[in-house]
Amino acid sequence: MNRFLAVAKRHWMPLAVFNLAVAVIAGLNAQSVEDIWSAKAKLILPSTPTDLNLNLGVLGDLGGNDGLIFSQQVDSRKIIASILLSNDSLIKVRELDPEKELYGRIDEYKSLFNVQPDDSSTIITLSVEASTPEIAHQRLETLIEIFQQRLNQLRRSDADQRSEFIQKELIYAESTLAEAERELVSFKEKYNLVDSDSQTKELVGAISSLRVIQGEVSAQFEASKSQVSSLSSRLGQTPDQAIRALQLSEDQDYQAIQERLSELGVEIVDARAQFTDEHPQVQYLLDQRDTLLKQQQEAINKAAETTAGINPSIGQGYSNLVERMILAESEKNALQQQVIQLQSQVGQLNRQLQAMPSAQAQLAVLQRRYDIAESVYNGLTAQVQVTQVNAFSIYPNVQVLDQPAGSPTPVGPGRKPIALGALLTIIFGNTAIILFLESRNPLLTANDVLKTGLPIVGKISYLRQLPRENYDCKNIYPGFQRLASVISMTSLESRTLIITSASKGEGKTTVTIGLANALLSLGFRVLVVDADFQNSHLKLILSYENQKDEHSKNQPISINSGLDLLVPKPNKQGVFEFLARGGFEQVLNFAQMHGKYDYVLIDTPPTSLGDETMLMSQFIHNILLVAWPSMSNYNPFHDSLEQLNRHQANVLGLVINGIGNRRENYLYRHREVEII
């Protein structure tokens, strides 16, 4: 911090000019800043789902919002924000704005509005800026009104376009559905198909049932057939023969013949018992019997015309068997017909079942075509209804949550950014100026001093000029006492020492006076020579005034007991001529010879301001260089060392002025030596 302050102090003039210019510019800008008023409102997008749900068959279900959104990534809040800040909306708002003349371009006018959707809700915050709170409030109300009008216009346009497009598609879908329905109905009528799956199941079930019935009837047929065969074997007649025989036995004429034959048989037996066969009565009875037998045979022959092998005696005691055989024969014939009929039905059903797959495939194609046509038609019909019923499918309903309200105080940064900008400009500008100036002539640092390799013979704490009470040898700074001890133990040629610095203001004159007082306190006689011919401060500090008497020139003046001051004057000669021709050396030797001083301390001009010190170093070889790190410049210090080296001057050591903290004291301690 001390270094920074020291550097800033060195360059105070350009810094002051720069800071003043920045302050003036900032002040002018601050005066031109006008107050900004704002108004805010909040809009909300309530959820408005439709209750329309439609099953589209193979195409799926159509819900309330299905098919009504362009993309799932579309955010309704962003759509609303785009409509609010659209050029069409803002142009209409600007036409009603009392300050419309101030905004020639729509982009400039758009910058007054801000639309901010909330990330976690459906709320949209609107804000607007204006020169007065009334204009801000009016501006925001106008924007909301124009926005609602624009939103309704977009809804109507969207609904009209959708309806027009869907109506054309609906007509085509209706004709496609009707054609598919006609083909399906015609195919079903042709193949008698209603439901192919259920009909197939019914056919399979019917075939199975018929086969079961067929098996049962076949078994009954075989049983009846066996019964007929058994009865026929017992009777020795076929059923037809048995029927004819039974019919013959039941014929009245035949029965009368049978009865008469029976009676004749009895009469013949009785007649033969009484008469012989030649007896006329017996012959008569025999003739009657032959006649009846002949009639009987004729009846039998007549019955046997259609069925041969009739047994005339079968009807006698066999009527029950004949009836059973006839019933069994009838049942057998009926069962046989039933078996044949069932076999025919099973065959017909099998043929239908075999033809069913191809019919089913064709029916499935036609049914699928019909289902798709019906689904498309239903979907388009639903879209028409959705378009008519739900006008907010794309542009949702927007309601005003908070009415426009102006801010009670002006908003915006106001003059704070100007002040902050000016402050930052001053900070960075001063830093840049300091860095630039320091890059040209940097400040001397402690490390620069240590790099010289010269011994540190003294350290002085922040002392540019001694207080007047310290001119007395009774009050000596500790740093000067240590410096005097080092000098007193050092072997100096002619006990003469040049005290100089690279630049002015480094404390060389103060060090000269302090060292003189410290040596005086040690009992030495000291002569202080003010050799800074151009800028003499030593005589002023020691309260010496130039005397007008000529004899006082180049003569030591007593300042204190043991302390004298010599202010050499080059007379009419120039300073350089006075030094180069030995005038100064003669004055110095004369004073040394008459004053018998233990030490002669010469305060010379800074080496960067002239060559006086270099000329003196030709005959005074002991030089004490005063440096003030963090106050002195690096370039003059470095140049001074180079000049002294070129002139082969003996730099006894460095006196470091301005030691202010323990760190600096420690930094120089390892280089502090005693010169003996």
Cite the DSSP H helix spans in 192-238: 196-235
**What is the 3-class SS of 650-663, one letter each residue?**
EEEEEEECCCCCHH
Domain annotation covers residue 594: yes
Domain boundary among 352, 375, 406: 406
Domain annotation covers residue 385: no
> Mind listing the pLDDT tens digit for each residue in 507-527?
888 899 999 999 999 999 999
Q: Within this chain, do residues 56 and 139 fall inside the same structural domain, yes or no? A: yes
Residue 465, pLDDT > 60, answer no
- Residue 125 pLDDT level (bands cut at 50, 70, 90): very high
How far is residue 103's CA from residue 86's CA, in Å, rounded to a whole number? 16
Q: What is the pLDDT of residue 412?
A: 65
Q: Within this chain, do residues 592 and 459 fall inside the same structural domain, yes or no? A: yes
Residue 246, pLDDT > 90, answer no
- The structure tokens 């109905």 sit at 185
Instruction: Tell me whether residue 93 is exposed, middle or buried, using C-beta atoms within 10 angstroms of its C-beta: 0 to 12, 13 to 18, 19 or more.
Output: buried
Q: Within this chain, do residues 282 and 221 fall inside the same structural domain, yes or no? A: yes
CA–CA distances in Å: residue 152 to residues 143, 206, 521: 14, 66, 104
Q: Within this chain, do residues 161 and 215 fall inside the same structural domain, yes or no? A: no
- The structure tokens 């830093």 sit at 431
Residue 358, pLDDT > 50, answer yes
Residue 451, pLDDT > 90, answer no
Instruction: Please answer whether residues 26 and 419 qualify as being in contact, where contact means their C-beta atoms are separated by less than 8 angstroms.
Output: yes
Tell me which of 183-187, 343-347, 384-388 is least confident.
384-388
Here the contacts of 133-139 (C-beta below 8 Å, separation 24 or greater) are 133/37, 133/39, 133/406, 133/407, 134/406, 135/37, 135/97, 135/98, 135/99, 136/37, 136/38, 136/39, 136/406, 137/39, 137/404, 137/405, 137/406, 138/97, 138/98, 139/39, 139/93, 139/97, 139/112
Residue 179, pLDDT > 80, answer yes
Report residue 630: phi and psi, to 5°.
70, 0
SS3 3: helix
Radius of gyration of the chain (CA): 73
Tell me which of 73-77, 224-228, 583-587 is least confident.
73-77
Q: Within this chain, do residues 498 and 632 fall inside the same structural domain, yes or no? A: yes
Domain residues for the domain of 108 are 2-175+395-406
> Mind listing the pLDDT tens digit for each residue in 364-423?
788 788 888 888 888 878 777 666 555 555 677 888 888 998 887 877 666 678 888 888
Higher-confidence residue of 465 and 644: namely 644
Question: Tokens representing 335?
Answer: 């069962």
130, β-bridge pairs: 37
Residue 146, pLDDT > 80, answer yes
**Which CATH number covers residue 631?**
3.40.50.300
Q: Within this chain, do residues 575 and 514 fall inside the same structural domain, yes or no? A: yes
Tell me which of 21-25, 164-168, 230-234 is least confident.
230-234
Instruction: Please answer whether residues 497 and 599 qualify as being in contact, where contact means their C-beta atoms are separated by less than 8 angstroms.
Output: yes
DSSP secondary structure string for all residues of 511-557 = HHHHHHHHHHHTT--EEEEE--SSS--HHHHTT------GGGTT--E
Closest by Cα among 130, 19, 151, 145 to 93: 145
Q: Residue 250 has what DSSP assignment?
A: T
Q: What is the pLDDT of residue 525?
A: 93
Say what the alpha-carbon torsion angle 169, 173, 176, 177 is, to the nearest 10 degrees.
-170
Report residue 61: phi and psi, to 5°.
-110, 145
Closest by Cα among 636, 637, 602 to 619: 602
Residue 205, pLDDT > 80, answer yes
Phi-psi region of 653 (alpha: psi -120 to 50; beta: other; left: phi over 0): left
How far is residue 98's CA from residue 130's CA, in Å, rounded to a whole number? 11
- The structure tokens 């050799």 sit at 531
Q: Both ends of the chain: CA-CA distance in Å?
A: 38
Domain annotation covers residue 432: no
Instruction: Tell me whether residue 637 is exposed, middle or buried, using C-beta atoms within 10 angstroms of its C-beta: 0 to 12, 13 to 18, 19 or more.
Output: buried
Q: What is the pLDDT of residue 126?
A: 92
Domain annotation covers residue 313: yes
Q: Within this chain, do residues 468 and 578 fall inside the same structural domain, yes or no? A: yes
Report residue 75: phi and psi, to 5°.
-100, 120
Question: Tokens representing 114?
Answer: 């801000």
Question: Tokens representing 465?
Answer: 């000029």
Residue 663, pLDDT > 80, answer no
- Residue 144 pLDDT level (bands cut at 50, 70, 90): very high
Q: Residue 115 has what DSSP assignment?
A: E
How far is Cα of residue 422 from the mean position of the Cα atoms in its chain?
A: 38
Domain count for the chain = 3
The total of other beta-carbon atoms located within 10 Å of residue 213's CB is 15
Question: Tokens representing 38?
Answer: 């704002």
**Which CATH number covers residue 22?**
3.30.1890
- Residue 499 pLDDT level (bands cut at 50, 70, 90): very high
Q: Sheet containing 123-130: which strands, arranged edge to edge?
A: 113-117, 123-130, 37-44, 399-406
Sequence-distant (6+) residues with CB within 8 A of 365 are none
Residue 114, pLDDT > 60, answer yes
Q: What is the pLDDT of residue 235?
A: 65
Domain boundary among 344, 375, 406: 406
Q: Residue 411 has what DSSP assignment?
A: B
How many residues are recorded in the chain? 676
SS3 393: coil
Query: What share of the chain in percent tops pLDDT 70?
Result: 76
Q: What is the pLDDT of residue 524?
A: 92
Q: Within this chain, do residues 611 and 477 fall inside the same structural domain, yes or no? A: yes
Residue 585, pLDDT > 70, answer yes
600, β-bridge pairs: 496, 527
DSSP secondary structure string for all residues of 618-639 = TT--EEEEEE-TTTSBHHHHHH
Instruction: Please answer whether residues 295 and 264 qualify as being in contact, where contact means their C-beta atoms are separated by less than 8 angstroms.
Output: no
Q: Residue 672 has what DSSP assignment?
A: B
Query: What share of the chain in percent tops pLDDT 90?
Result: 9
Q: What is the pLDDT of residue 124?
A: 92
Residue type, 449: V
Q: Within this chain, do residues 13 and 68 fall inside the same structural domain, yes or no? A: yes
Helix (H), strand (E) at residue 37: strand 37-44
Helix (H), strand (E) at residue 94: helix 87-95
Q: Within this chain, do residues 577 and 451 fall inside the same structural domain, yes or no? A: yes
Residue 50, pLDDT > 80, answer no
Domain annotation covers residue 372: no
- Residue 1 pLDDT level (bands cut at 50, 70, 90): low
Q: Within this chain, do residues 171 and 213 fall inside the same structural domain, yes or no? A: no
Question: Tokens representing 164?
Answer: 């027009």
Q: What is the pLDDT of residue 498?
A: 92
Q: Within this chain, do residues 133 and 206 fall inside the same structural domain, yes or no? A: no
Q: How much is the mean pLDDT over the chain?
A: 78
Domain annotation covers residue 437: no
Tell me which of 54-58, 498-502, 654-658 is least confident.
54-58
Domain annotation covers residue 377: no
Domain annotation covers residue 495: yes
